[in-house]
Structure 1
């Protein structure tokens, strides 16, 4: 069983500013601690076989300057790789907009603090939020929440199939709560109204925790 409240509260979420290759960027930042040594967390995030057990199948050349593709998800290029503390990649679903994901690890006693920052061009994000509301951004944040939950379960030896586990009722409950948590963070960052946030949260929940 997943302690859903504990897992939700384990992650700090915020909207910030982080430069991207194109200039000014907007970012979603997630921070949480893991009860595992930094070398173990790094290996879980960079070893192809271990990635497949909590994130999904990753193909490509996983080295500095190499390219990768996460099955049925995004792909990109490895921009920085400084073992065991920093990994930076481009993250694209195709099309013209290329975003960036930076993973930062810091020792914390016997454990590790992980920061994941997903940055996109500021003008693109602001335009999308104005035109379509916060739903897409909430969905991205909720997706990363699920990934970091999966990493925690994997590091604690919980066996699951990352291709199918999101259908489990408790995981849907977690995803719903994560979308609500991102709604609060996004409302604070952009000053959006309650109706806009409610619609955005519903969009994220529909994607990650559909009924039925």
Structure 2
């Protein structure tokens, strides 16, 4: 069993504006602190064998200017790789819109690692999607990254964790529901979304990640 509330509260979430290499962007930002040295966290995020144990199997030409592909997930181009502080890639899922993911690592005074992830999408496309469908899709993207950061925490602490086996458990569904609510609060703070619209958006995201949960926080 995991302490779901503590895991949810360990991540700071916000919505921001992040320039893309192609222009203006809207972004999801996640930040949490891992009790591990920066070199260990960097290796977990860049070494193919270690990456495959918490995020997914990766293959490709893993260098700046090269491309990567995560199994059953996104692929893209490696834009920057500045060990052990910065990794930036394009992030494209299937035929979806091109986006960018940037991971930033810094050491705190206690030897722990502050992990920041920013997932930015073209502002014009995001704004149109939100006007048409509401912010539920954005919440879903954030929930997906919450699950990834949970896997990284388990990996760094040496806890046996199989995301594929765990995702259908009641515990996983509760985590997903709480994640969706946490992202709903972040979106409401950033965009001033009405209570009714944010409730509908949360329900939309929960239906994807935890369809039998009922959507309660």
Task: State the TM-score, normalized to the length of structure 1.
Answer: 0.96
Map residues 25-64 of structure 1 onto 2, 5 A cutoff: 25-64=25-64
User: Structure 1 residues 66 and 163 mapped into 2: Cα distance closer, same or farther (>3 Å)?
Assistant: farther
Match of 2:199 in 1: 198
Shift of 1:123: 1.0
Q: Which moved more, 1:199-208 or 1:77-86?
A: 199-208
Match of 1:184 in 2: 185
Map residues 38-187 of structure 1 onto 2, 5 A cutoff: 38-95=38-95, 97-108=97-108, 109-187=110-188
Size of the alignment, in residue pairs?
212
Distance (whole Å) between structure 2 residues aligned to residue 5 and residue 182 of structure 1: 14
Provide structure 2 residue ranges, at least 5 long, that are not aligned to the other structure.
Answer: none
Shift of 1:96: 6.2
Distance (whole Å) between structure 2 residues aligned to residue 51 and residue 206 of structure 1: 28
Shift of 1:176: 0.8
Preserved CA contact (<8 Å) 1:15 1:189: yes
Distance (whole Å) between structure 1 residues aligned to residue 15 and residue 181 of structure 2: 14
Per-residue Cα deviation, 1:12-41 (whole angstroms, up to 9, x for no partner): 000001001221111000000000000000
Structure 1 runs, 4 residues or longer, greater than 6 Å off: none
Preserved CA contact (<8 Å) 1:53 1:162: no
Per-residue Cα deviation, 1:83-129 (whole angstroms, up to 9, x for no partner): 00000000001336210000000001221000000001111111100
